[in-house]
Structure 1
Amino acid sequence: MFTIPGHHHISMITKNASQNNHFYRYVLGLRRVKMTVNQDDPSMYHLFYGDKTGSPGTELSFFEIPAVGNTYRGTNAITRIGLLVPSEASLLFWKVRFEEYGVQHGEITTYANHPALKFEDPEGLQMVLLVSNGVKVAHWETWGKSEVPLEHQIQGMGSVEMTVRRLDKLASTLTDMFGYIEISRTDDETIFQSIKGEVFGEIVVRYLDGPKERPGRGSIHHLAIRVQNESELLYWEEQVKQRGFHSSGIVDRFYFKSLYFRESNGILFEIATDGPGFAIDGEVEHLGEKLDLPPFLEERRKEIEENLNPIEEY
């Protein structure tokens, strides 16, 4: 049986690509590793931010939908993203930085047993900085041109929070199908890890009854989890089918191959291969500097570019 080594990427909705670009590049200090389009709807940007190469486990991705409305918080949704930082001193650095840039944030506290600092992006996307204590994504590479000093840079994704009505259904999918380990359970939350002791594959599940979340700007569309290659992806495709979930089938996204399915609460999961990666169509030193299109969209480049508003740098 194959195991899941951790998160691959997580995808959100933004109303304004220029504002989003400014926050994630210049306030959070991440590298924009790929500026492309939604392959299913090329009229919208798809932006990826991460480490030097956009390694699996470091990628935050956003679809720009200019007409999108507000998010109405509720249940059966992915509700918070954890980002890893090196130390408790880093939390102090980020608290000061957030105050300097007017970022909505809380006080230094704990989250899922980690020293933590909660904050939101300009569209209300809920995030939390977590102290990694040296346990970063193994292949994370520093981005030398980051606006943030190396000793405090974000080192990839940590805990991802999901809020659901039927916790045991999600727990069964994570443990029985994917082999996640239940680490702890309280009245408030249950914590699962794909590899015991490793926060970069951690999922925090909270129970909440009530109305389903209505997505909008600042909402989380799906979580992608990692597999090494297409052989493993084929294995997981069969597991998804055997449990009775409807699958998209394997989709070639050019930068990786993946499949999508919704578990019983409606949470959308993607299972994505580690490679070939974002350097397949560009030099590492120039990633994210221009609009990249997968080969099947290249012949439509003129039309696609005319329908996109340029991303403003400010």
Structure 2
Amino acid sequence: MHTISGHHHISMLTKNAQKNNQFYQKVLGLRRVKKTVNQDNPEMYHLFYGDLTGSAGTELSFFEMPKVGSTVRGTNAITQIGLLVPSYESLVFWKNRFESLDVQHGEITRYADRDALHFEDSEGLRMILLNNNGEVVPENWSGWEDSVVELQHRILGMGTVEITVRNLDRLANTLKDMFGYTEASRFDTEAVYQSVAGQSFGEIVIKQVEGPSEKPGKGSIHHLAIRVKNEDELRYWDEIVKARGFQSTGVVDRFYFQSLYFRESNGILFEIATDGPGFTTDSTVDALGKALDLPPFLEERRAEIEGKLIPLD
């Protein structure tokens, strides 16, 4: 039986790779595990942050678009990203850290039945630290020892992702009937679905909100990738997506993983991505994220590509 084993990664837009690089490494303490380019437009950086090796389920990914404007918030968009931390004490640590570093944040509250701390990066990307409370995390996640954040409070990986849509039922039916997500709760215009029952590392909160669609800009979320084991499973899901009536890109080789893309009925862009081969396919673990890595089909254009990018540390 083919199942979705959780989130794989989530991809956002940034206007400034330098500031983005600073925030996610030096403030959040994540490891930059891959410095590469958008394979469809290699004039822009594509940066990945995560755990020691950028394990599936820990990856935050950013496309740099220097000319992008501000996000105009609205519906039919992926609107918040949950990040798991070990304990309630971790939330207290992070609240104090955000205050000292002048990061916009709220008070410790509750979200998706967990202790939570809402915050934003400098471009308005909305995120939530969630108390994992000692619960299980995927076996493939591995902490990065050189993080600027002390061990007991480090971000573990991705948790609950919030999607806001005009038609809750359409997205809910896609998650339940097509992908086999479990409905954890539902109250009128809000519902929670889990790819692994009882676990937040594959959890999606759907909120039904009327109004104009979000206009993407800096700090907006481009797509959510969900996780499958290998290319055989991916090809299975490609057929399921098409049989459901959605238009699939078919399997695309992203070098670090294989994937496909489709939009569900509200226009939310999903990617389905394989666990491997992973970011160590062209790098040692120690060297991850340091040099500009290019997939083989772009290697012959390295000088041209590097000439158009502003160097990062």
Q: Any stretches of 5+ residues in structure 2 without a counterpart?
A: none
- What TM-score, normalized to structure 2? 0.99
Q: Any stretches of 5+ residues in structure 1 without a counterpart?
A: none
Distance in 1 separating the partners of 2:145 and 2:227: 26
Residues 1:272 and 2:279 aligned together: no
Q: Is the 8 A contact 1:84 1:156 kept in 2?
A: yes
Equivalent position amino acid for 1:245 in 2: F
1:104-253 to structure 2, matched below 5 A, reads 104-134=104-134, 135-253=136-254
Equivalent position amino acid for 1:140 in 2: W
TM-superposed deviation, 1:187 = 3.1
TM-superposed deviation, 1:133 = 1.6
Task: Report percent identity of matched pairs.
Answer: 69
Distance in 2 separating the partners of 1:274 and 1:179: 19
Q: Is the 8 A contact 1:137 1:155 kept in 2?
A: no
Query: What residue in structure 1 maps to residue 262 of structure 2?
Result: 261
| Deviation sequence 1:90-137 (CA, Å, 0-9, x none) | 000000000011000000000010100000001000000001122323
Query: What residue in structure 1 maps to residue 101 of structure 2?
Result: 101
- What TM-score, normalized to structure 1? 0.98
TM-superposed deviation, 1:83 = 0.1
Q: Is the 8 A contact 2:168 2:189 kept in 1?
A: no
Query: What residue in structure 2 maps to residue 26 of structure 1?
Result: 26
Distance in 2 separating the partners of 1:238 and 1:148: 43
Distance in 2 separating the partners of 1:194 and 1:163: 18
SS in 2 for 1:154: coil
Residues 1:290 and 2:312 aligned together: no
Range that drifts further, 185-194 or 225-234: 185-194
Distance in 1 separating the partners of 2:230 and 2:140: 16
Equivalent position amino acid for 1:95 in 2: K
Q: Which runs of 4+ in 1 moved over 4 A?
A: none
Residues 1:56 and 2:56 aligned together: yes
Q: Is the 8 A contact 2:50 2:60 kept in 1?
A: yes
Equivalent position amino acid for 2:166 in 1: R
1:84-99 to structure 2, matched below 5 A, reads 84-99=84-99
Equivalent position amino acid for 1:232 in 2: E
Distance in 2 separating the partners of 1:187 and 1:308: 48
SS in 1 for 2:169: helix
Q: How many pairs does the alignment contain?
A: 312
